[in-house]
Amino acid sequence: MDAMPEGDTVWQTAQRLHQALAGSPLTRSDLRVPRLATVDLTGRHVLEVVPRGKHLLTRVEGGLTLHSHLRMDGSWQVYGPGERWRGGPHHQIRAILATAAHTAVGYRLPVLELLRTGDEDRVVGHLGPDLLGPDWDPDEALRRLLTDPSRPLGEALLDQRNLAGIGNVYKSELCFVLRVSPWLPIGEVSSPERLVAHAKKLLEANRNRRARVTTTEPRPDRRLWVYGRPGRPCLRCGTPVRAADQGRAGQERSTFWCPSCQAGPQGPAPS
């Protein structure tokens, strides 16, 4: 998928890793972060690889889990024997897990840690219902979102404690589809259950696609309504799309919206 990692891309990554590694003993284990430099998982079977929101949990026999998170630009790539590795420069590799048939290479992984499988809640227990997970509970997701009615919608959607799997792309696209500003307090969103239902619908629709699409026009330059389109005409009304940082100091994230199509506070004035 040609976009930054969010719940759908992480789900796809988990499927690829599970198909490549699960059920086979590891023939190579190379974890290139200081705290794991001496860890060797060679000989252990990978039991399964599961996504949890934007986290990846690779469970290995012996009660161990390799936890990774892709954040903005990390990735796991899977290669066959003799295939050229092309996920980035060699110095960006943080993990290598190989079986006789496949090699999984983790590039630019900002989070990589080994923990007991029984302790997974330490790293994912705070997450809200997973939009693509077996624990999905729309009522609980809605309850969590509305806990702070004054919080701007964009910030509430990005908070993984409310519902897990939404990143910057879906935040902007969901606000556009609902025709509300990302700065509108979430308590003022009419029929907020529609927001939760549409979030689920969008991620479900994209979890098996190579390219993320939120519009009805899958042309490469028209797959997304507003994300990554600052200054370009809104695909619905033609008004230039705006972009601004949103969030608390030190946690700001880029937000895109159409000031004509989306009602509510319009964020900071253009500089």
Place of tokens 């934007």: 54
Residues 6+ apart with CB under 8 A from 48: 18, 22, 58, 59
Q: What are phi and psi of 115, to 5 degrees?
A: -145, 170
| Residue count (the chain) | 271
Angle between helices 192-206 and 168-177 (to 10 degrees): 130
Q: What are 233-242's contacts with CB under 8 Å, separation 24+?
A: 234/258, 234/260, 234/261, 236/261, 237/261, 242/266, 242/267, 242/270
The active-site residue, picked from 144, 253, 259, 265, is: 253
Question: What would the two tokens of residue 44 be?
Answer: 């252990």
Q: In angstroms, rounded to a whole number, what is the distance separating the alpha carbons of residues 160 and 263? A: 25
The active-site residue, picked from 6, 94, 152, 207, is: 6
Question: What would the two tokens of residue 50 be?
Answer: 């599961």
The active-site residue, picked from 51, 52, 54, 59, is: 54
Residues 6+ apart with CB under 8 A from 173: 202, 214, 224, 225, 226, 227
Active site (annotated) includes residue 253: yes
Active site (annotated) includes residue 6: yes
Residue 46's SS3 state is: strand
Active site (annotated) includes residue 200: no
Active site (annotated) includes residue 54: yes
What is the Cα 156 distance to its own chain's centre?
15
Which residues are known catalytic residues?
5-6, 54, 253
